[in-house]
């Protein structure tokens, strides 16, 4: 069995400012030609949760596992990678070009803290499955009362 590399991170400050991302997303929504950052496209994702875990499924067909970066901290998941382009046949012309190529990056803010040490990821048939067990947080604590 081969494993997908998962990097655990404490912060994602170097990923860029929120304003920069908002402006980039606004222009990219109008046209993919307006790409200010290294993100050229965004793979489709499903994120859902159960009582015990958060599950993310990313549609990233055509990408080698070695081209993926997966970073996880307690509240954020960063998925990045690159899908290489496929040139048309010699003397060929595109009549339709809908498949997106190049680099991508997705940042997902999780609805609950997760246990990063128990996170798993698998990649099969173009789908990346990420399973993130939720951290069990005590909701109340007993505090001893002293005589003083």
Of 93, 95, 138, which Cα lies nearest the Cα of 113?
A: 138
What is the CATH topology of the domain spanning 6-86+100-133? Answer: Immunoglobulin-like (2.60.40)
Q: What is the pLDDT of residues 67-109, one digit of tens each?
A: 899 999 989 999 999 998 888 888 888 888 888 889 999 999 9
Q: Decide: residue 74, CB within 10 A, 0-12 exposed, 13-18 middle, 19+ buried.
A: middle
pLDDT at 89: 83
Mean model confidence pLDDT for the chain = 81
């Amino acid at each position: 069995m081969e494993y997908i590399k998962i990097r655990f991170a404490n912060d994602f400050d170097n990923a860029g400012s929120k304003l920069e991302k908002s402006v980039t997303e606004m222009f990219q929504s109008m046209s993919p030609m307006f790409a200010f950052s290294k993100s050229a496209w965004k793979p489709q994702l499903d994120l859902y949760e159960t009582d015990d875990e958060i599950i993310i499924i990313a549609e990233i067909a055509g990408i080698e596992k070695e081209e993926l970066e997966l970073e996880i901290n307690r509240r954020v998941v960063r998925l990045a990678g690159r899908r290489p382009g496929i040139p048309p046949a010699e003397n060929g012309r595109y009549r339709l070009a809908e498949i997106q190529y190049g680099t991508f990056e997705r940042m997902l803010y999780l609805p609950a803290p997760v246990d990063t040490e128990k996170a798993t990821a698998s990649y099969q048939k173009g789908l990346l499955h990420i399973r993130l067990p939720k951290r069990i947080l005590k909701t109340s604590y007993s505090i001893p009362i002293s005589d003083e």
